Amino acid sequence: MAVLLLLLTLTFRGAWTKVDAAGISLTHTGLGRARLLPWQDIAGVQINHFRTQSGIGRNVKVVLRDGRRRTLPMLLDGYVGPDPDLDRKVEEIRDRMSHYGSLPAPESAAPVPAVVESAVSRGNARLRRWTWRYLAPAAALMILIFGSLDAVPAWSAHLGAGKHGTFTATQVDCRRTCTWTGDFTSDDGADVRSGVVLGSGGKVHQVGDQIPAVDTGDRVDVYPRGGGDDWIAVSGSTLVGAVVLAVWVWTVPLRSVRERKRATGPVPGI
């Protein structure tokens, strides 16, 4: 799960704003295509003030002609760091708006030097695309597979299935939370396991404590009677893996299929 969160952080951290003859292009994630706000749709550019823990911060919002507002990424002062050139950048954007906003929308706008760009390099952009295309689906698939394997015994314990017995604590390992290891013996004495881990939710206070538990066939864990809380965490991580994998399928392979269909167009005679 931590690996997937790291990969998602690398993928989604590439926000940027770019200004050219076509309008203002922006993305808050660095994933997929940027959104273009044409000059003809922009009514104004405002500097917005807001409070931070260290004082007053400023960002820049575009006001559209329909009344909506859009925050421009990477144009910040006093939040993640000072930007003494923020006012100058805003004035340059307003100058471009005054010039291009009165012209008809160009069919193919000639590129001009960008007024505002983030510090994210092309190398970082390539790294994000590579991470999302190759590493993210592998990590999501692993979380989905292992999460599904853990979900079955966790849900079985939650629903009251499995062999009922007693867990005896023999060892504890405390870091952020305490993990109890011990022995499990079923009520009929047929199922005896040593060195098993007690799932979350069991009220164990010291070595030697015994509590009612259930064995649902997990390779490592037994669960406190009633199932404990592991089914919630396992279900959540499995769902995250499934959602990330579904988004990847939509944005990578299916997007390529859609682009090929648009490029080839309809087949004559069909």
Report pLDDT digits (tens) over 84-104: 888 888 998 998 888 887 555
pTM of the model: 0.50
Of the candidates 120, 138, 172, which is a domain's last residue? Answer: 120
**pLDDT at position 111:** 44
Residue 8 placed within a domain: no
More reliable by pLDDT, 270 or 44: 44
Mean of all residue pLDDT scores within the chain: 80
Residue 82 falls in which region: left (phi positive, over 0), alpha (psi -120 to 50) or beta: beta
Q: Is 114 found in the same domain as 131?
A: no
**Can you read off the two tokens belonging to residue 142?**
């692993």
- pLDDT > 60? residue 63: yes
Domain containing residue 88: CATH number: 2.30.29
Query: According to the model, what pLDDT value does residue 102 have?
Result: 59
**What's the domain range around 216?**
121-270
Q: Among residues of the chain, what percentage have pLDDT more than 90?
A: 28
Listing DSSP states for the chain in one string gives -HHHHHHHHHHH---EEEEETTEEEEESSSSSPPEEEEGGGEEEEEEEEEEETTEEEEEEEEEETTS-EEEEEEEEESSSS--TTHHHHHHHHHHHHHHHTTSPPPSSPPP---S---S--HHHHHHHHHIIIIIHHHHHHHHHHHHHHHHHHHHHHHTT-SEEEEEEEEEEEESSSEEEEEEEEETTS--EEEEEEEPTT----STT-EEEEEE---SSEEEETT-TTHHHHHHHHHHHHHHHHHHHHHHTHHHHHHHHHHHH-PPTT-
**Domains identified in the chain, total number:** 2
Average pLDDT on 9-32 reads 70
What is the pLDDT, as a whole number, of residue 113?
44
Digit-coded pLDDT (tens) for 198-234: 998 888 889 999 999 999 988 889 999 888 888 888 8
Do 156 and 58 reside in the same domain of the chain? no
69, 81: one domain: yes
Residues 173 and 103 in one domain: no
Check: CB of residue 29 under 8 Å from CB of residue 17.
no
Given this model, what pLDDT does residue 228 score? Answer: 84
The proportion of the chain whose per-residue pLDDT surpasses 70, expressed as a percent, equals 79
Please tell me the predicted confidence (pLDDT) of residue 82: 79
Q: What is the structure's pLDDT at 178? A: 86
Of the three residues 58, 91, 120, the one that is the final residue of a domain is: 120
| 10 found inside a domain | no
Q: Is 168 within the bounds of a domain?
A: yes
Q: pLDDT tens digits, residue range 111-169?
A: 444 444 444 444 556 677 788 888 888 999 999 898 888 888 889 888 888 999 999 99
Task: Check whether residue 103 and residue 156 sit in a common domain.
Answer: no
